[in-house]
Every structure is written in structure tokens, then in C-alpha cells.
Structure 1
């Protein structure tokens, strides 16, 4: 367990230092996964108090970004945000159904195809015992968005 935590910290911090977007969470997942794979003895189980503490810190890290200014801006963008959220949720559900239909749905497919931040969705998946599957889906999504963003921005400006 200690090796996974150290490897996760080192890899996450390394990617953060290299300014890789999402480097802390992606790097820590990759580092910990590497230890688990090298061990070859199945999944490592972190102590529940440690996992709970990590989720609490993650929730607080997100919560403290909610300022009066953010709440004030929400009034201006509420309708667009709501329409966008509903569209993404419906699209995610459609993808989940399609994956089930063709036999490619992992455990936790609804969380895996739902919109949301990699950290939050992975944490929600971990709470339901499908963290790895959900994390893979969202990691692929985030990496593809990051890689395609320069092109998407140029196309959108046309």
C-alpha cells in the first residue's frame, strides 16, 4: 500500500510539475496502477478511513471554489447550464445504453458515460466499487479533450 501511495504521489507531482493538465490525478492513478500491476496479486485495498479522508478533502477543495461571485454568475448562466447538463446527461445515458446493447458496457457504465470532472466521477465510482472502470472512461475523455482542444478552439473561432 505504501508503495502505491508513494508511486502515485511521485507520478502525480511529476506530471503536475510538467504542467500536464490533470497531472496530479492522472499521474497518481497511473503511479498507483503501475504498482498494483507490477505486484500482480490483485487489487490493493486502501484503508477506508484514508479513502474517506481523501474524498472529504476533494469535496472541500471543490467546495471552497464556490464564492459569492460564482453564485452571482450562476443566475446569468443558469438556463444555459441546465440545458447543457440535461443534454450531456441524456447523451451519456444514450451511450451507456448503446454500450450495453453491443456488449461493451463496463461495470458502472452510467457513471463512466456521465458528464463530470475526472476526480469527482472517479471518486463516485470508487464509492460504488467501480472506480477503475469509471476512471478509465473519464481519463480517456480528458486526455482526448486536452489533445484536441487547440484544434477545436481554432475551428470554433472560424
Structure 2
């Protein structure tokens, strides 16, 4: 871990963050997350959790703060379980009907994401984890995948910006599509 001035904290002191800092980080993440959820902000829990934790990290002057691995692993298991519980027989039955469109759409988005990642690299502005950052996917899933590969924050920002822009542009796009049809 490092302090906000860049000074390294001795390894003996940086193995585990102080329990109070972990508690404060989780509390801030929960307060901001639930606050945004209460305000009906789409993705409020995860966006607020990120913002609340970032505020504590930045205000506390400690960089490289990591939550305990068992806590993070448990969160991934719960997230995976939540996604898994949405798989129903009806969902499986509908797969055949939408599979061709879904595969075509996914292939196009993956190709576009790879092209954007390549372009960012050529321009010298590619973030760490650029392929994950420009790939299609849900903010939570892509951020979790990036975190496991050690590129979490930059990938999360890419998906957060995409999500916010989609949410802000949807009313206009829906209005335009209904007028055109």
C-alpha cells in the first residue's frame, strides 16, 4: 500500500488494511449505493458502491486499498448466484427463438470492441485491460472479470461511462424510434 504522497507503507503493515478502514469503506459504499437506489438511479447500488468506496480511499490518503480476498470472493459467488437464479425453463425455451440474433449481435459488438481497443492502442490512449473495457457486457460482470485480472478500475470506468450514456440517451432514442415507426 502507498500513502497519498506516494510513500510506501512497510509490507508488515500493508498486508491487511485496518478493520476500521474496511468497515468505513463498506459503510460509505452502502450509504451512497442505497442513496442512489432510493433516488431510482439505474445501477445505483453498484455505482454508489464504487463512488462511496472511492471517496473513502481518496479521502483517507491510502492507495491500493484492497478488501479482504474472502469478502471479495464471497461477493463474486453471490453475484454469480444472482445471475444463475435468473435462468429459468422459460428463459431456456426462448433461447432458440432469439439465439441467431443474439449470436449475430454479440459477434458484431465483440468485433467493434476489438476494433475500438485496437484504435485506442494505436492512438496511445488504451487503458489497461482495453479489450475488457471495450467489450460488451454488464458493468458488474465486466468489472468483476477485470478485477480478477487486475485491471478493475479502468475497465469499470469504461463500462460506467457507457452505462450512463446509454441511460441518458434512451428517452431520446425511444422517442425518435417511435416517431420513425
Shorter chain as denominator, the TM-score bin is over 0.9
Q: Which residue of 1 aligns with 2:113?
A: 92
Unaligned runs of 5+ in 2: 1-21
Q: Deviations for 1:105-147, whole angstroms, at most 9, x for unmatched residues?
A: 0100000000000000000011011110110000000000000
The separation in 2 between residues aligned to 1:74 and 1:21, in whole angstroms, is 26
Q: Which residue of 2 aligns with 1:136?
A: 157
Larger Rg: 2
The separation in 2 between residues aligned to 1:139 and 1:95, in whole angstroms, is 17
CA RMSD of aligned residues (A): 0.6
The separation in 2 between residues aligned to 1:103 and 1:12, in whole angstroms, is 34
Shift of residue 104, structure 1, vs aligned partner: 0.6
Q: Given the alignment of the two structures, is residue 47 of structure 1 paired with residue 68 of structure 2, yes or no?
A: yes
Unaligned runs of 5+ in 1: none
Aligned equivalent of 1:6, options 27, 32, 37: 27
Q: Given the alignment of the two structures, is residue 110 of structure 1 paired with residue 131 of structure 2, yes or no?
A: yes
* TM-score, scaled to structure 2: 0.86
**Which range moves more in the overlay, 32-41 or 98-107?**
32-41
How many residues end up aligned between the 2 structures? Answer: 158
Q: Which residue of 2 aligns with 1:145?
A: 166
